[in-house]
Structure 1
Amino acid sequence: MAEHPAYPVGLRLTGRKVVVLGGGQVAQRRLPALMAAGADVLLVSPAATPSVEAMADTGEITWERRPYREGDLEDAWYALIATSDPEANARASAEGERHRVWCVRSDDADAATAWTPATGHSEGVTVAVLTTNAKGRDPRHTAAVRDAVVEGLRDGTLVAPHYRTRTPGVALVGGGPGDPDLITVRGRRLLAEADVVIADRLGPRDLLAELPPHVEVIDAAKIPYGRFMAQEAINNALIEHAKQGRSVVRLKGGDPYVFGRGMEELHALAEAGIPCTVVPGISSSISVPGAAGIPVTHRGVAHEFTVVSGHVAPDDERSLIDWPALARLTGTLVILMGVDKIGRIAETLMAHGKSPETPVALVQEGTTAAQRRVDATLATVAEVVVAEDVKPPAVIVVGEVVAVGPKPLA
């Protein structure tokens, strides 16, 4: 039997009895996939790992706390034999053979009637990799092949065209703080499948160069606005391309809902009857300080952090921020879009009780090759920004956490 390759097949186990013998590490690894397949799982084992026991406690599986005995595989469709008793494994395997139950054996692949492939998933596709025969099986190579295929599907480097009609629509994709490696795998896959990409200036620009030639890339900053406001023009562009039957990605910096006006775009699409998917992104409010060696919270230093927009000054009537309340907080204050207003922000915080010696860090072009960090205090930050020629985009961190990490390199 070992001289012939295994015949690959996908088992549909929903509502069907699956028996797992043994509650150790093998069962712990295999049970989640069986439960996800909808199997009616019976675990037979005198003991189990804490994780397996928790599955039984929550009712996800049925656990009979005893050793294997003849008849356990009756009416089963599939069995995983993974006890520490070789004799019990052999008897269970023999029972499976008599009842024509496909059995996987963790202790002896040659004696098994089925093998478990290395599996991975990527948005509606299951990748399963099997070694061609039992002799000379190399599980690490099998897993490596699986990982390479799944990673390629997820990050868009392995693109398989869709031959069935796709539903046109829009995906609002958070691109992360700038480093192309920090976009989510789902966001990268949707980019690879897009017909049109409408991109923000702060999105991960390097990813645009990787798109297939047929993809139309539109710079949101260059959409002809005419009589429309900028956001209205962007909304209209999303709607028009989607109505033409195209798959559209709105690539935004950070997260679509963190000062990204994503909800405005979602509302416009909903009113136009356009389906929309929202893909969260890593917000620069957390990732950029982290990339510069600054934790937004730290034990004994800061138990909270607050993120605010600095695009309008504290004395501007349009401001919705309670700056006096922020000055009284003892945690970390993260300010986005506030480089040109930081002088007035610092004055306001100090006027309401914040110490002039409070550390401040400005991280420009965070997570990119051009990243740089400039340190100051509330009292000096206005002068430092000018002297160091700090330009947007930059994330500003105010609080004692700035001084927690190693001193920044010169």
Structure 2
Amino acid sequence: MAEHPAYPVGLRLTGRRVVVLGGGQVAQRRLPALIAAGADIRLVSPEATPSVEAMADAGEIAWEQRPYADGDLADAWYALIATSDTDANAAASAEAERHRVWCVRSDDADQATAWTPATGHSEGVTVAVLTTSARDRDPRHTAAIRDAVVEGLRDGTLVAPHQRTRTAGVALVGGGPGDPDLITVRGRRLLAEADVVIADRLGPRDLLAELPPHVEVIDAAKIPYGRFMAQEAINNALIEHAKQGKAVVRLKGGDPFVFGRGMEEAQALAEAGIPCTVVPGISSSISVPGAAGIPVTHRGVAHEFTVVSGHVAPDDERSLVDWPSLARLTGTLVILMGVDKIGRIAETLVAHGKSPQTPVALVQEGTTAAQRRVDATLATVAETVVAQEVRPPAVIVVGEVVGVGVGPHGAA
């Protein structure tokens, strides 16, 4: 046949018969997408990998445990030929040609009537990459192109504006602990599509510099309060911009619902009839200790960890934390927003039974270039914070896991 480029098309296989010959690694890679497409899949193969066998056991595919036989493709719309028997592959390919069944061959692309593109997905879009001819086929190259396009769509570096009218709304995006690379791909994409970004001080600031010039960036710490409290002013700003038909992102540090007042904002938006999307973020309570070489749990050391807010002291009537109970726990205690209260917190824990020699680590500016770790004990932490000039934001870890870390801050 004359050399012509392949014609790209999307097959709608829902409820339609697809025959897969061979249950090896090729089938294992291709079957999930066929299952996701809703195809009626018939696998013909004497044996299969454990993963393929599990698909059959789950009823996702019908498996006939035998070799290929002429007539297997008679009712198929699409066929994937991937056996280790060259003769069987050739015979099946010839049958597909007779029955006008589009056929992919894993062993000989030149003899196939269809090719499987390198595919990826991003927010309702499927990216499929094909080479123009059999002569130019280079699976690694097409996969690399696919990965570059999908990654660009996910992280916002490749932006394709929506042409249809968007529904106004707000996305509460958890920005993670500070390192801009630790925001989720969905969060980064929503940032790239935003008209307005209302950002916390503890959000990943470096991401704001990447936003297009037309995006309005509002510092939540500097919203005029007027007669409202700060949180009410932020709620009002979210509602006001969303009602103007803008795509609004509320960029918060860590996770929106971990001491982030995200639910207060979601409730205010719901009362105003504004659609709200919540994008979880990596909480500093886990990620910052990890970045400093501290596991919050470790086999034989800690079977649980507890995260508490230290923004009010244990003797403050506003405190909702049961500090005496925490002192009796044997696991890890992670304290957020507690740098200036750590002295009274340590005294309370010791007064209720915690050993004064319990290790403590303070990780300041975790996951950023300014990260530093300061170690102490419950007995010395108050004076250490002053002597070492530890400042917020810092995550405080209390427990034996502090001494488990690896690398420069501890021995395995």
Structure-2-length-normalised TM-score: 0.98
Deviations 1:282-316 (A, max 9, x none): 00000000000111111111111111110111111
Deviates more, 1:398-407 or 1:55-64: 398-407
Give the distance between the partners of 2:309 and 2:245, measured in 1 at CA. Answer: 36
- Please list the CA deviations of residues 183-216 of structure 1 after superposition, one character each: whole Å capped at 9, or x if unmatched: 0000000000000000000000000000011100
Q: Is the 8 A contact 1:334 1:396 kept in 2?
A: yes
- Cα RMSD, aligned residues only: 1.4
Deviation at 1:406, TM superposition (A): 4.9
Matched, 1:315 2:315: yes
Say if 2:22 and 2:82, in contact at 8 Å, map to a contact too: yes
Task: State how far apart, in whole Å, the 2-side matches of 1:196 and 1:154 are.
Answer: 19
State the identity %: 90
Aligned partners of 2:202, 2:270: CA distance in 1, in Å?
A: 25
| C-alpha distance in structure 2 between counterparts of 1:9 and 1:364, whole Å | 53
Kindly indicate whether the alpha-carbon contact (under 8 Å) linking 1:15 and 1:39 is maintained by their aligned counterparts in 2. yes
Deviates more, 1:397-406 or 1:176-185: 397-406
Contact 1:20 1:81 in 2 (8 A): yes
Question: d(CA) in 2 for partners of 1:404 and 1:357?
Answer: 21
SS of the residue aligned with 2:158?
coil
Q: CA deviation at 1:131?
A: 1.1
Inter-partner Cα distance in structure 2 for 1:258 and 1:134:
53
Check whether the contact 1:2–1:133 (CA below 8 A) recurs between aligned residues.
no
Q: CA deviation at 1:75?
A: 1.6
Cα distance change of structure 1 residues 391 and 2 upon mapping to structure 2, 3 Å threshold:
farther
Q: Distance in 1 between matches of 2:17 and 2:411?
A: 61
Q: CA deviation at 1:321?
A: 0.9
Whole-Å separation in 1 of the counterparts to 2:229 and 2:222: 13
User: How far off its partner does 1:136 sit?
Assistant: 3.5
> Contact 1:118/1:130 (CA < 8 Å) preserved in 2?
yes
Gaps of 5+ in 2: none
TM-score (norm 1): 0.98
Is the alpha carbon distance of 1:299 and 1:408 closer, same or farther for their aligned partners in structure 2, counting shifts above 3 Å? closer
Q: Conserved in 1, the CA contact under 8 Å of 2:308 and 2:335?
A: yes
Q: In 2, Cα distance between the equivalents of 1:405 and 1:206?
A: 27
Change in Cα spacing, 1:404 to 1:301, as seen in structure 2 (3 Å) is: farther
- Cα deviations across residues 327-383 of structure 1 (Å, max 9, x unaligned)? 111111100000000000000100111111111000000000110000000000000
How far apart, in 2, do the equivalents of 1:219 and 1:409 lie?
41
1:375, 1:74 → 2: CA distance? 71
Deviation at 1:161, TM superposition (A): 1.2
**C-alpha distance after superposition, 1:231-288 (max 9, x if no partner):** 1111111111001000000000000111111111111111111111100000000000
Instruction: Provide the secondary structure at the position in 1 that maps to 2:135.
Output: coil
| Cα separation, 2, equivalents of 1:31 and 1:282 | 32
Q: d(CA) in 2 for partners of 1:225 and 1:16?
A: 60
Superposed, 1:360-379 pairs within 5 Å as 360-379=360-379
- Tell me by how many angstroms 1:76 deviates: 0.9
User: 1:407 deviation in Å?
Assistant: 2.9
Q: Secondary structure at the match of 2:74?
A: coil
Distance 1:373 1:327 in 2: 23
Q: Which residue of 2 aligns with 1:176?
A: 176
Seen in structure 2, the aligned counterparts of structure 1 residues 249 and 409 have a Cα distance that, compared at 3 Å, is: farther
Task: State the alpha-carbon separation in 1 of the partners of residues 119 and 396 from structure 2.
Answer: 43
Alignment of 1:137-286 (within 5 A): 137-286=137-286
Measured in 2, the distance between the counterparts of 1:89 and 1:404 equals 53
Work out whether residues 196 and 247 of structure 2, in 8 Å CA contact, stay in contact via their aligned partners in 1. yes
Give the unaligned 5+ runs of structure 1: none
What per-residue deviation string (whole Å, max 9, x for no partner) do you get for residues 19-74 of structure 1? 11111110110011111111111111111111111111111111111111111111
Give distance in 1, aligned partners of 2:410 and 2:226.
Answer: 46
Note closer, same or farther for the CA distance 1:409–1:216 as it changes in structure 2 (3 Å cut).
Answer: farther
Please tell me whether the aligned partners of residues 2 and 134 of structure 1 are also in contact (alpha carbons under 8 angstroms): no
Q: CA deviation at 1:404?
A: 6.4
Asked if structure 2 preserves the Cα contact closer than 8 Å seen for 1:2 and 1:135, the reply is: no
Secondary structure of 1:208's aligned partner: helix
**8 Å CA contact 2:292, 2:409 repeated in 1:** no
| Deviation at residue 405 of structure 1 after TM alignment | 6.0
Deviation at 1:137, TM superposition (A): 1.4
SS state at 2:302 partner: coil
Between the two proteins, the alignment pairs up a number of residues equal to 410
